[in-house]
Amino acid sequence: MARPTTTRARTERRVRQRDFWQRRYDEDPTFFGPEESDFARWCRPILRSEAGLREVVELGCGYGRDARYLSSEGFHVRAVDLVRRSEPSSTAPRAAVEPIESDCLEFLTTLPRGKVGAVYSNMFLNMDFTEREHRDLMRAIHRALAPRGLHLFSVRSTSDPWYGRGRRVRPDTYDPSPHRVTMHFFSEAYADRLAKGLFEPVRRTERSEGGSDFPIRLWYFADRRVG
Ligand SMILES: C[S@@+](CC[C@H](N)C(=O)[O-])C[C@H]1O[C@@H](n2cnc3c(N)ncnc32)[C@H](O)[C@@H]1O
């Protein structure tokens, strides 16, 4: 059983995350833009080439731009976030998905074992998680996925221009100004360590995004459940 201090620290980090993202989306309901992410477009052919894949679970879906896109591509999407956002009316969904308000780890543990075709997340796993929490999440994703199911995720990279800025919180984890939200930056080796014994690589690439306004660098991972 987790020690009380660990549980309290975990809860405090969740509350900080929720308050931060709640404020961001209140200020700008389409903070990341009204369209789906580049990562969702990268995943589309991978998802479509999987025979019989119907169900996708999205973790940390924000205001649902990628959930809406994947749903319009014909997948049955269940999307989860700490913050509950309705779709902004200006981006009137062709295929709306009503997000589920929950901590992702708690949500994953409610799913039946081995049923989901794909677990998807864009810039979620690089949020304020310790290595132990990352390991818990990877195990919970593995448990929820069907045999040979896909785990698709994008994360901020250690070669991101924001890496190392602001206050250092843990290894590869910083509060970069001006946003003051804690982020974990992924090296390829860290992702491989987390996946060891649970997932094997299908495809991966490192990409720059955000143009000159807000340049960031992301790892895109498509992994397959083993075991
Ligand atoms: C960088 S935003 C990305 C949002 C969305 N994936 C997108 O690309 O538009 C990260 C999201 O993760 C959510 N989040 C952070 N920690 C979470 C947790 N433990 N459980 C569920 N959602 C979480 C935040 O509320 C936020 O909406």
pLDDT(92) > 50: no
Q: What is the mean pLDDT of the chain?
A: 91
> What distance in Å separates the CA atoms of residue 204 and residue 39, rounded to the nearest whole number?
11
> What distance in Å separates the CA atoms of residue 86 and residue 83, rounded to the nearest whole number?
10
- Provide the whole-model pTM: 0.94
- Summarised one tens digit per residue, pLDDT across range 60-90 is 999 999 999 999 999 999 999 999 876 555 5
Atom of ligand 1 nearest to the CA of 58: 6
Name all domains of the chain by residue range, CATH numbers in brackets: 4-225 (3.40.50.150)
Strand ranges (E), the chain:
55-59, 76-81, 100-101, 116-122, 145-156, 167-170, 173-175, 183-184, 199-209, 216-225
Atom of ligand 1 nearest to the CA of 122: 6
> What distance in Å separates the CA atoms of residue 78 and residue 119, rounded to the nearest whole number?
10
The rounded Å distance from CA 192 to ligand 1 centre is 22
Q: Which of 210, 216, 183, 209 is nearest to 21 (CA)?
A: 183
* Nearest protein CA to atom 9 of ligand 1, as residue: 62
pLDDT(149) > 60: yes
Is the beta carbon of 71 within 6 A of some atom in ligand 1? no
**Structure confidence at residue 181 as a pLDDT band (50, 70, 90):** confident
The rounded Å distance from CA 82 to ligand 1 centre is 7
The rounded Å distance from CA 85 to ligand 1 centre is 11
Residue 6: what pLDDT?
78
